[in-house]
Structure 1
Amino acid sequence: MGERKKAWGNESTDTETRRHGDAENRNPTQNFIHPKEISAFREQKPGFLTDSIEQWFVFGRQELPPVRAVVSGEQIQDLDIQYQISPQQTEDYFHVIVTAADELYYTANSSQGFQSGSLKVGQSVNPGWADFQITLEQFIPQAQLQREVIPADNPNFGGTPALLVKMPNGTQTWLPWGEPTVVADTNEEWLAAFSPKLLQLPFAIKLEDFIVERNEGSESVAMWTSQIRISDPHDSFSEQRRVWMNHPTWYKGWKIAQASWNPGDLQQSTLQVKREPAWVTALTWSGSGLVVLGIAVMFYGPLLVKKLPAPQPKSENPPVETTTKEVVTQH
């Protein structure tokens, strides 16, 4: 008997949820902080009681190799994965095209429609995003973007968190927040990333629709709502719910709230999922109620006191008892 290798899907814990996305849709993510877990591989060898299981993580950049993690057993040999990264399709965009003769052209799309034309230095273009304007300040052919990570001495400076990794040979490398970086040693290289810990949720969240309501007569956004479906195969639970700003939903002590959204991709919604038991929620609402009560007393308390009847002042001299006597005289 030969070796048998099997792959199966695994529920994603990425909080960046796409419409109609489920466990079978395993596209590489372009989010560096949360790599997409596309599949797990199992190898069964004849004569062995245990299996070798691996998990692979891929990124939205082709130059970053996949990260392999051995779940159990040994690393599977002669195993490779082929995948393709398709560019993210957005409804609103602004693209600059450079020809072989170093001539610049632009294409833009928005709710106002599609537009294109030539682009010159000093020229301003209104892509149709409210009152935004894009101006070409300078054109540098064959330019390269270089960046240097410098530690900030001032803690109040709004920079990006990073970790300094020191190797035994003296090499130092900065790991910026959420950016996979190659850490090189004398003989080996490692791909390291500094990001939040990925946790497996006990249930699945699927984005079924993302609804954007706009104010009448303008394109300004009034409210956005995520229509999600919570599925728990362990309890045979499946329910559709709606989440919008300041209106979260709860499931088994987990709070699911609307965090942000992408105006350029209305099929994407970012949700915040955190552990929040019922007693924490009750304590939070009780504290908020006390704050509101205190503000009400501070503003309306003096007015209510003025409307109360004033007490009668007490006299300093005690009352004196008086008697009336009738005097009868005879003539």
Structure 2
Amino acid sequence: MTTTPEFSASFTQNEAARTDQERAAILADPGFGNHFTDHMFLSEWTVDGGWADPRVVPYGPLQLDPAAAVLHYAQEVFEGLKAYAHADGSVWAFRPEANGARLGRSAARLALPELPVEWFLGSIRALIAADRDWVPSGEERSLYLRPFMFASEVFLGVRPAHHVTYSVIASPAGAYFSGGVKPVSIWLSENYARAAAGGTGAAKCGGNYAAGLLPQQEAFEHGCEQVAFLDAAEHRWVEELGGMNLYFVRSDGSVVTPELSGSILEGITRDSILTLAADLGHGVTERKVSIDEWQGGVASGEITEVFACGTAAVVTPVGRLAWNGGEVDASNGEMGPVTAAIRSALVDIQYGRAEDRHGWMTRMV
């Protein structure tokens, strides 16, 4: 068995890096996922050598053989996290250790090698140090980091790859939704499931998102921005949106979220909100939530707010839920008070405006 050496990354300067003026123009209106920094992190794993050659190099295309296993069998996983510029000029990441641990769980499910959390943190820190000037400042601004791992072995047999590539890229980000933080409309998918028991729903892998693209297209066709999925067995229990976890605020002020079932992604923002909602005095419950409860609860007033959460969108209010034959709306076109308080508590910690009582922030540079 190979052992993983202590992390130490080499650095190669990008001689074609954007000028200060070019970077400033991008940071003035970054959007989400539209632009990328000047460098990226790379490392490779082999059966015989383990993880090796950690390095920060100029951002650019990856060269893949047409027979690379990932292109045929989708053996890949990824993560998403953000780094925030604080008022004193320091840069902090939100719960990166949890992202590193989840990457390990996802990798295990996809038969990929475990990347030590120390290497995960080292890769993030090395890339941020190289591209510190790309971290935007201001409300709703952050540096979105995308670590990912894929089977790069040139081989067409169906087995776990013997050569794997790990990379991190970074993108300056504004608000996830271009229209700002306002209630999103949801289409209920009644014909498709995101994941099933025993599948890869709890892993953060590209196949889960690819499976949601057709239902997402269906949502757009019905004038909705996101799609909600039910369980694959009974088509009764609410699971999650295409890329976000769900919460329901009841008339007594309690907050409910669908319990983890093996087919729901264990969101880090989801877990943080469980803690923050309790801090704010709300009863918090993880349990099964039926689609009848969502539809009927909003109609009766028993459910007063619905919101979704994820790394990219943070906390987003949910308004209209539509399906073939009906719709309900949990908002009056604006964010509800409980959603707003939870969102504010979370982003204030992330941007260094509130005390980090739970030790969630890790300084990067």
Alignment TM class, shorter chain as reference:
under 0.3
Higher Cα radius of gyration: 1
Q: Which has the higher helix share?
A: 2
Instruction: Give me the TM-score of the superposition, normalised by structure 1.
Output: 0.18
Instruction: Give me the TM-score of the superposition, normalised by structure 2.
Output: 0.17
Q: Which has the higher strand share?
A: 1
**Which structure carries more relative contact order (alpha carbon 8 Å, separation 6+)?**
2
